[in-house]
Structure 1
Amino acid sequence: MTSITVIIILLIALGITAGFLILVVIGVFLKKGEMASDTEKIVSRVLDGTPLPAFEINTKHKVIQWNIALEALSGIKKADMLGTDNQWKVFYESKRPVLANFIVDEANEETIFAQYGNKASKSPLIKGAYEAEDFFPAMGEKGKWYHFTASPIINRGVLVGAIEILEDVSDRHTAAENLRYHLGQVTKLQEEERKYLARELHDTTVQTLVALLYQIDNFLADKPDLTEGQVTKLKGMYQSLKRAVEDVRNFSRRLRPPVLDDLGLLPVLEWLTGEIKKSYNIDIGIEIVGEHRRLDPDLELTLFRIIQEAMINAGKYAKVESAKVTIEYLADLVRVEIADKGQGFDLPEKVGSLPREGKLGLAGIAERIELLSGKFEIKSTKGAGTTVVLEVPVK
Structure 2
Amino acid sequence: MSDSFMGFKKINDILVETISAIEKSRGQLFDIVEHARNECENIKYELKKIREKVDTTIEEVDRLDREEKRSRVLLANVSKNFHIYDEDDIKEAYEKANDLRVSLTLKREEERTLIEKRGELEIRLKETIKVLKKAEDVSKQIGVATGYLKGNADDILATVGDLSKKQYLGIKIIEAQEEERQRLARDIHDGPAQSMANILVKAQLCERLIDSDIERTKKELESLKDITRSNLKDVRKIIYDLRPMTLDDLGLIPTLERYIYNFMKESSILVELKILGDVSSFESAMEIAVFRIIQEALNNVQKHSHARKVDITVEKTSVRFSVLISDDGVGFNKEEDAIDKDIRSGGFGLMSMKERAELLNGKLKVKSSPGMGTKIYFSIPLNEEEDIYER
Please indicate the TM-score interval, normalised by the length of the shorter structure.
0.3 to 0.5
Flag the structure with more relative contact order, 1 or 2, with Cα contacts below 8 A and sequence separation at least 6. 2
Task: Please state which structure has a larger fraction of its residues in strand.
Answer: 1
TM-score (norm 2): 0.43
Relative to its length, the structure with more helix (as a share) is 2
TM-score by length of 1: 0.43
